[in-house]
Structures are given as structure tokens and as C-alpha cells.
């Protein structure tokens, strides 16, 4: 992002922050006690160049996600990945809905290399990979039930795109009763200004945008989770 654009955005955000704060917005939801790491659409179609869905700033996002994965796995924090993929991309039985009238969704074919998670941040055995059909990781998937079964109260969100799937996942997370924490260095989009505007707006209304270092400090301070006991709902009521 150019210095000129950055300067212009900062002027806008400064003025808008005053409006929000005077009206009681920009409160902090804070970290809970039981986080999960949710990596949104960090599959090859978005992370590698040359695709219609390719996003910018991957040289920052991928290393940030790798740090978050390392810290989360060290404390047995649940890790979830999503990708967007379609089994039927033509005919009356298509699972694309109407989205392909706006974006080239027909390129996202289930089972293709493009829809596989980038191998630089590959899932480890046992980590969930959810193939979704809509923007939000919660829409039409088992994610809510999965997180609740583990007693999760906080979702640390990374991925792309900031204006689409990351934003809608964040909005649905707070609607479903989870504390959304969006990691500033670990999210992106195809247009730089879109990232900064949506981070500002989300931080005002739907979740907390936190720097990578702050999130890593939070994860480091957690007690290592007892994965076996965490699978039982009663444990979260007494723990």
C-alpha cells in the first residue's frame, strides 16, 4: 500500500474513530479462556500467484500463520482450516448457488490442487479442514457444533479475504457466541485499502483486531489444554 493511501486512510480512521467512540462503539470483547485457531481459505487459489483469487501480502501472512500454528499446537489449541470448493459447477444440481454470477466460483473445484491448503501451512493429522460453499466458515457447516463441543469461547481468525470470507466469519462468530480475535498481520485481500478499512470497521463493531505479538503472548500464557478431557461437555462447566 502506498504511503499516500496509508496517510489518507489514517486521516479517515482518526475522524471516524471519534464518531464511533462518542457513540459508544469500539469496545473490547477481549480474549476468553478456550481459544481455537480458524484459518480462512488459505488454499492455493488464494495464496499462490496467477489465480483469479490470488491475494496480496502472502510474504507476511504465511509466516504469521506459521507462528500462530506453532503456538497453538504447543498448547493443544484446536486448529481449523477452511477452503471454498464446489463439487458440481454446472447443470441444475450445482452447489454454487448464485455466487458464480458475481465471482468465478466455477474455478474452485472440489478435489483440485487450487482448493488444497497451502503446504507451507499444511494441516497436521487430526486438524479439521472444512470445505465450505459460502463466505462464512459457519454458514452451512458443522463449525459451531464442533467448537461448542470443545468448550471454545474465543476464535483467533486468520486468512483471506478480509472483505469477504474473513469478515463474514468474524460477524458470524460473535453472533454464535464466540469472541472473535482477528490477527492484523495474518489477514489479507486482493486490494490493500480493502484490508485496512475492514479491519477498522470490524474492530469498531464485531471483534477485536490484535497484532500478532499480542496474540502470541496470549497463547503462550495459556495452560496446555487437556485434549482428552476437553472433548467432554461437562468439563467446560467445571474447568
The answer to whether residue 16 is domain-embedded is no
Q: Give the sheet arrangement for strand 35-40, strand by strand.
A: 128-132, 79-84, 35-40, 154-160, 179-188, 208-210
Instruction: Domain of residue 60: give its range.
Output: 30-224
pLDDT band at residue 7 under the 50/70/90 scheme = low
Please give the share of the chain, as a percent, with pLDDT higher than 90: 79
Within a domain: 238:
no
User: Helices 3-22 & 192-205, crossing angle to 10 degrees?
Assistant: 10
Do the domain assignments include residue 22? Answer: no
d(CA 116, CA 122): 9
pLDDT at residue 4, rounded to an integer: 65
Is residue 72 included in any domain, yes or no?
Answer: yes
- Classify residue 104: in a domain, yes or no: yes
In a domain, 145, yes or no: yes
Res 234 pLDDT > 90 = no
Residue 133 covered by a domain = yes
Locate 195 and state its grid cell. 484490508
- Residue 165 is among the residues annotated as catalytic for this protein: yes
The whole-chain average pLDDT of the chain stands at 90
CA dihedral of residues 200, 203, 206, 210 (deg, nearest 10): 130
Specify the number of domains making up the chain.
1
pLDDT exceeds 80 at position 21: no
- What average pLDDT score do residues 101-107 get? 95
Per-residue pLDDT at 29 exceeds 70: yes
pLDDT tens digits, 168-223 = 999 999 999 999 999 999 999 998 788 988 999 999 999 999 999 999 999 999 98
Least confident of 53-62, 90-99, 217-226: 217-226
% of the chain at pLDDT higher than 70: 86
Residue 18 lies in a domain: no
What is the rounded distance in angstroms from the CA atom of residue 193 to the CA atom of residue 31?
Answer: 27
- CATH number of the domain bearing residue 102: 3.40.50.850
- Please identify which of the residues 135, 165, 182, 204 carries the catalytic annotation: 165
Amino acid at each position: 500500500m502506498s504511503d499516500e493511501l496509508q496517510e489518507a486512510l489514517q486521516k479517515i480512521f482518526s475522524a471516524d474513530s471519534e464518531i464511533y467512540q462518542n457513540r459508544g462503539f469500539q469496545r473490547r470483547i477481549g480474549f476468553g479462556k478456550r481459544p481455537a485457531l480458524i484459518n480462512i481459505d488459505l488454499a492455493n487459489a488464494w495464496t499462490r500467484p496467477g489465480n483469479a483469487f490470488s491475494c496480496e501480502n502472502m510474504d507476511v501472512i504465511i509466516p504469521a500463520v506459521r507462528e500462530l500454528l506453532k503456538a497453538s499446537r504447543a498448547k493443544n489449541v484446536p486448529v481449523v482450516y477452511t477452503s471454498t470448493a464446489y463439487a458440481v459447477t454446472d447443470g441444475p444440481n450445482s452447489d454454487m448457488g448464485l455466487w458464480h454470477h458475481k465471482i468465478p466460483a466455477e474455478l474452485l473445484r472440489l478435489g483440485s490442487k487450487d482448493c488444497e491448503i497451502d503446504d507451507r501451512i499444511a494441516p497436521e493429522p487430526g486438524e479439521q479442514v472444512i470445505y465450505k460453499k459460502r463466505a462464512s466458515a459457519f454458514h452451512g457447516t458443522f463449525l459451531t457444533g464442533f467448537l461448542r463441543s470443545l468448550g471454545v469461547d474465543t476464535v483467533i481468525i486468520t486468512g483471506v479475504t478480509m472483505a469477504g470470507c474473513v469478515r463474514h466469519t468474524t460477524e458470524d462468530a460473535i453472533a454464535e457466541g464466540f469472541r472473535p480475535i482477528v490477527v492484523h498481520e495474518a489477514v489479507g485481500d486482493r486490494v490493500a485499502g480493502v484490508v485496512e478499512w475492514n479491519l477498522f470497521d470490524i474492530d469498531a463493531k464485531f471483534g477485536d483486531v490484535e497484532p500478532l505479538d499480542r496474540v502470541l503472548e496470549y497463547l503462550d500464557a495459556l495452560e496446555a489444554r487437556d485434549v482428552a478431557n476437553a472433548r467432554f461437555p461437562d468439563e467446560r462447566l467445571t474447568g
